[in-house]
Amino acid sequence: MKILITGGAGFVGSHLADKLISQGHEITVIDDLSTGRYSNIAHLEDTERFRLIIDTVLNEKLMEELIRETDHVYHMASAVGVKLIMERPVRTIETIFRGTDVVLGFCSRYRKRVLIPSTSEVYGKGASVPFKEDDDLLTGATDKHRWAYACAKTLDEFLALAHWKETRLPVVVVRLFNTVGPRQTGQYGMVVPRFVHAAIRNEPIQVHGDGTQSRCFGHVHDVVEGLTKLLDSPECFGQVINIGNSEETSIKGLADRAIALTGSTSEIQFIPYEEAYGDGFEDMRRRVPSLEKAKRLIGYQPTRSLDDIINDVANEYRNEVAAAA
């Protein structure tokens, strides 16, 4: 098939491109490289079934052409990272919603199957753990910029499901829970590469808040395996589906494991949220997915542990340091 990946030079998008090419598909990636990196997909440039277009999904004329000629669309383009969200909330909201509106509009016009990634952030301050797809959503006040990303993604979900309701557009919404692994940068606040890289350098690991807040981290290879099955499964159309890993750890526990697995001498420093992100930041205490729906619909079962993730990120970073020496 011919498959379009928006944001395909990004962390998850590039691994998705790798997987789909290995399955024999023709892949077109569109990315403006604002947060994605050419190095993520450089190894694919000589592949006959791969095409890279450096442009924005807001280029409607181009997007119409690309969507019309494709079979499936994975709309991975998005503003990413807590740091970027706090610093540039206008860009966060506009990039997410306007881009999704363009993609869904043309997919609806040409009847293309489309996957819309959402985020565990939409669960907000929800206290019912593990989070299930039909849970009520509880975000904070609109003057807390922390929630701009969650609300923009929630609006994406409403729009996608509205297309399904009105025209039966074959669309799947996927809520991703902290996808991590090789190629992820800590530039925008991503915690795993930030901790692991600091540990390898034996530098202080900065934990925001008191470190008791907990998260679950899914290896990008497990996540991508799930993503590639969703658009081939009509029973997933019009559905919201969690994808991730349910292995829970505190953020301090994550720092401890990064130190232990890398043999580091790093110390842990606790940084108040206000110092890290400025005023208007709120955090959720726990974020654990229910994966029962994904297992039932596509047989999704993550196979890689948090230790696997840390080791893979550490090995990649060591190789990069060695290559640069």
Per-residue pLDDT tens over the stretch 100-140: 999 999 999 999 999 999 999 999 988 889 999 999 999 88
Q: What is the mean pLDDT of residues 18-24?
A: 97
Q: What are the extents of the domains in the chain?
A: 2-180+218-245+289-303
Tokens found for residue 259: 């130190």
| Contact residues for 290 (Cβ-Cβ < 8 A; gap 6+) | 130, 131, 132, 133, 242, 246
- Residue 241: which pLDDT band, with cuts at 50, 70 and 90? very high
Kindly state the average pLDDT of the residues 71-88.
81
Please tell me the predicted confidence (pLDDT) of residue 276: 73
Give me the pLDDT at residue 186, please: 67
Mean pLDDT, range 53-69, rounded to an integer: 97
Tens digits of per-residue pLDDT, 153-212? 999 999 999 999 999 999 999 999 999 999 998 665 689 999 999 999 999 999 998 999
Looking at residue 188, its pLDDT comes to 57
What's the confidence (pLDDT) of residue 302? 97
pLDDT in tens, 291-321: 999 999 999 999 999 999 999 999 999 999 8
Q: What is the pLDDT of residues 259-269, one digit of tens each?
A: 999 999 999 99
Q: Is 238 left (phi over 0), alpha (psi -120 to 50) or beta?
A: left
Report whether CATH 3.40.50.720 matches the domain 2-180+218-245+289-303: yes
| pLDDT at 148 > cutoff 90 | no
Mean pLDDT for the chain overall:
93
Task: Using a pLDDT cut of 70, give the percent of the chain over it.
Answer: 96
Task: Provide the pLDDT for residue 83.
Answer: 65
Task: Determine the average pLDDT of the residues in 225-240.
Answer: 97
Per-residue pLDDT band at 146 (split at 50, 70, 90)? confident
Residue numbers annotated as active site: 149
